[in-house]
């Protein structure tokens, strides 16, 4: 008993720096959300500024620009769900089907790499390839064809951001599918093959049922995060295409608060997103549990 | 269970011989994936090595420079704004990674021991932040109130411990057999001794992955710099954003002269310099993916 208490004290001491970080920079900052119910006056600071109760939220609900940003966020999230989501799955199936392991490992390494490249560099690379004077347009020009304005065109923005996400994270997204595929019992394939099932039927009756839980889980979790699309990605390109195309909730908060100085109003929008987002993730987990999956947390 | 490392066996006996068409389609798809990733990098490296005249003549980019030269690199590494930014990025990455690792390891270790006082509530406290982040404006105001504006600490302290990394390490520590703890304890080792002489030596792979994750995150970070720092303290990624993406002119902080847009070759050289460290650490990171450190964590 004596020793147990001693050990416990050492552990508490070890816990201290990390715990202090979470208390200060997460819970301390969380408390700062009271600014959403105040009008921020720089001179009075966070605590001295006058209360406006739900005034900021009222303004927000009546602000067309805010709802446009919500709509943009959901639109882009849905497009990513439809067009990004299947790509890692397809790529994982392709990689898994390779019997030549050297090639498989090489392609895997190459495909994971863009995940570690910063958004600044990704956006710059896309400019170099698809921009006015980029690889694509100078080639088109050289062949005497019309050039296409992709980077600065608001109408092309949504496909562009989806393409960027695919380039950056499709390879990385294969990890979880590959792990699921690796767990499929090889004997099931063999038994199916002996029973005369061809590659397609084996895929349909063995592979798909085996990895369906992972697919369903990831889909549900992605639906829970429908209010979160890449903030850095949008912020980097908002100037090029304008807010009509690129404003999402997070950039709305940034431009109203950090750029515009309207902290109370911006914090209200951020808090709105935070609460709805947390509820959605929570609900998504509940649904995942109900379907017998593990969810992200227990 | 590691990601996709099915034994490198050849085609099993029951599997039918693949048709040439299928083989061809697969090969095309694989080559396409590799090219899509590699060609953009090739373009920036080639353009950074070409002469300005050649770049202009070719319309803005070069796939293979005829007379490669390091002039662009000499320009930016000559003690100007990029050199300074490079130093800032390197410093923040090294110091930040060490601090983050220290705080993550200690907390993860404490939370991995069964029956530690307050362990359960602290774990819930930590996991809740994952579900409900505090938000941009309150975080900004907190950094301001703490007087951290325009200090390098503002790039590190607000992101000191990453919940995902913490969970990875905690899971790894929990996987260490209980007998090893018992043995060390019978030898009279306290919790500190156990951490340093038993746990850490056994966790090299996990520490490497988490450390590299932190390093990559610090190196790639630009938004906090734009939020908290004056422009003469900016790290490389934020400088890159301003001069390459926004296309603003290069004002040299030391000489104060020149606001002309930097030539394409110079812009591409900055891009390459910002990418190279990632490419250098990537093989090490890659080595551990196959060891299953991550997949175990992804599942938990």
Tell me the Ramachandran region of residue A294: left when phi exceeds 0, alpha when psi lies from -120 to 50, beta otherwise. alpha
Query: What's phi and psi for B16, nearest 5 deg?
Result: -70, 155
What residues in B contact A138, CB-CB < 8 Å?
58-61
Token look-up 């439809």 returns A82
Summarize pLDDT for B101-158 with one digit per residue, the tens.
Answer: 999 999 999 999 887 778 889 999 999 998 899 999 999 999 999 999 999 999 999 9
Angle at A294 between CA A288 and CA B2, to 5 degrees: 130
CA B243 and chain centroid, separation: 22
Query: Chain B contact for A35, CB < 8 A?
Result: yes
d(CA B238, CA B88): 11
Tokens at A287, concatenated:
């649904």
Cβ–Cβ under 8 Å, residues A178 and A95: yes
d(CA A17, CA A23): 10
Contacts of B211 (CB under 8 A, 6+ apart): B97, B101
What residues in B contact A271, CB-CB < 8 Å?
135
What residues in A contact B278, CB-CB < 8 Å?
116-117
Cβ–Cβ under 8 Å, residues A70 and A249: yes
Q: Is the C-alpha dihedral spanning B218, B221, B224, B227 positive or negative?
A: positive
d(CA A279, CA A292): 20
CB atoms B289 and A112 under 8 Å: yes
Query: Which residues 103-132 on chain A approach chain B with CB closer than 8 angstroms?
Result: 103-114, 116-121, 123-129, 131-132
Nearest residue to B164 via CA among B110, B92, B108? B108
Summarize pLDDT for A49-90 with one digit per residue, the tens.
Answer: 999 999 999 999 999 999 999 999 999 999 999 999 999 999
For an interface test with A, which of B82, B138, B147 has the most A Cβ atoms less than 10 Å from its Cβ? Answer: B138
Q: Is the pLDDT of residue B299 over 50?
A: no
Tokens at A167, concatenated:
């380039």
ipTM value, please give it.
Answer: 0.91
Q: Is the C-alpha dihedral spanning A147, A148, A150, A152 positive or negative?
A: positive
Cross-chain CB nearest to A21 (options B8, B160, B227): B160
pTM: 0.90
Query: Chain A contact for B2, CB < 8 A?
Result: yes
Going by the DSSP 8-state scheme, the letter that residue B261 receives in this structure is: B
Q: How confident is the model at residue A133 (pLDDT cuts 50, 70, 90)?
A: confident
Query: Chain A contact for B114, CB < 8 A?
Result: no
Query: Chain A contact for B217, CB < 8 A?
Result: no
With 0-12 CB in 10 A as exposed, 13-18 as middle and 19+ as buried, what is B150?
exposed
pLDDT-above-90 percentage for chain B: 47
Q: Helix B119-131 vs helix A263-290: angle between axes, to the nearest 10 degrees?
A: 110
Tokens at A285, concatenated:
């987990």
Query: Which residues 145-204 on chain B approach chain A with CB closer than 8 angstroms?
Result: 145, 157-158, 160-161, 166, 190-192, 195
Cross-chain CB nearest to B44 (options A7, A128, A179): A128
């Amino acid at each position: 008993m004596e020793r147990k208490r001693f050990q416990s004290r050492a552990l508490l001491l070890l816990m201290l720096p990390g715990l202090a970080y979470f208390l200060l920079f997460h819970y301390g900052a969380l408390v700062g959300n009271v600014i959403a119910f105040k009008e921020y006056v720089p001179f009075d600071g966070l605590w001295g500024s006058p209360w406006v109760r739900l005034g900021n939220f009222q303004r927000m609900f009546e602000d067309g620009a805010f709802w446009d940003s919500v709509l943009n966020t959901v639109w882009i999230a849905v497009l990513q769900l439809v067009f990004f989501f299947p790509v890692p799955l397809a790529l994982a199936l392709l990689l898994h089907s390779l019997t030549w392991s050297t090639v498989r490992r090489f392609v895997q390494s190459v495909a994971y790499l863009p995940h570690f490249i910063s958004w600044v560099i990704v956006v710059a690379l896309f400019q170099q390839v698809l921009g006015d004077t980029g690889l694509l347009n100078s080639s088109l020009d050289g062949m005497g064809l019309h050039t296409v304005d992709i980077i600065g065109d608001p109408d092309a923005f949504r496909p562009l951001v989806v393409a960027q996400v695919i380039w950056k994270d499709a390879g990385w997204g294969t990890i979880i599918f590959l792990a699921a595929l690796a767990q499929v019992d090889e004997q099931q394939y063999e038994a199916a093959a002996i029973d005369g099932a061809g590659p397609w039927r084996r895929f349909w009756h063995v592979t798909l049922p085996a990895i369906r839980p992972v697919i369903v889980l990831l889909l549900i979790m992605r639906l829970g995060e429908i209010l979160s699309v890449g903030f850095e990605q949008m912020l980097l390109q908002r100037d090029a295409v304008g807010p009509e195309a690129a404003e999402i909730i997070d950039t709305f908060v940034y431009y109203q608060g950090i750029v515009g100085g309207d902290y109370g109003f911006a914090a209200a929008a951020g808090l709105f997103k935070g609460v709805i987002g947390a509820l959605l993730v929570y609900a998504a987990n509940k649904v995942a549990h109900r379907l017998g999956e593990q969810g992200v947390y227990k | 269970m590691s990601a996709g490392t099915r034994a490198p066996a050849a085609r099993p006996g029951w599997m039918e011989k693949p048709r040439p068409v299928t083989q061809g389609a697969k090969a095309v798809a694989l080559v396409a994936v590799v090219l899509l990733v590699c060609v953009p990098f090739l373009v920036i490296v080639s353009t950074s090595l070409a002469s300005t005249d050649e770049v202009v003549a070719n319309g803005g980019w070069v796939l293979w420079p005829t007379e490669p030269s390091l002039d662009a690199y000499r320009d930016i590494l000559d003690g100007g704004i990029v050199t300074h930014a490079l130093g800032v990025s390197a410093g923040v990455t090294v110091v930040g990674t060490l601090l983050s690792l220290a705080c993550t390891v200690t907390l993860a270790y404490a939370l991995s021991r069964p029956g530690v006082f307050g362990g359960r509530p602290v774990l819930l406290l930590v996991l809740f932040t994952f579900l409900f982040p505090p938000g941009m404006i309150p975080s900004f105001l907190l950094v301001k109130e703490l007087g951290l504006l325009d200090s390098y600490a503002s790039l590190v302290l607000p992101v000191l411990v990453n919940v995902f990394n913490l969970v990875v390490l905690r899971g790894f520590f929990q996987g260490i057999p209980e007998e090893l703890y018992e043995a060390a304890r019978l030898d009279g080792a306290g919790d500190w001794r156990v951490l340093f002489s038993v746990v850490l030596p056994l966790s090299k792979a996990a520490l490497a992955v988490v450390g590299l994750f932190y390093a990559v995150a610090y190196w790639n970070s630009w938004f906090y710099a734009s939020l908290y720092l004056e422009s003469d303290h900016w790290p490389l990624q934020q400088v890159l954003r301003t001069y390459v993406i926004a296309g603003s002119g290069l004002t040299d902080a030391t000489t104060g002269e020149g606001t002309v847009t930097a030539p394409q070759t110079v812009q591409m050289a900055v891009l390459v310099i910002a990418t190279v460290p990632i490419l250098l650490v990537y093989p090490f990171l890659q080595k551990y993916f196959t060891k299953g450190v991550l997949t175990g964590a992804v599942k938990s």
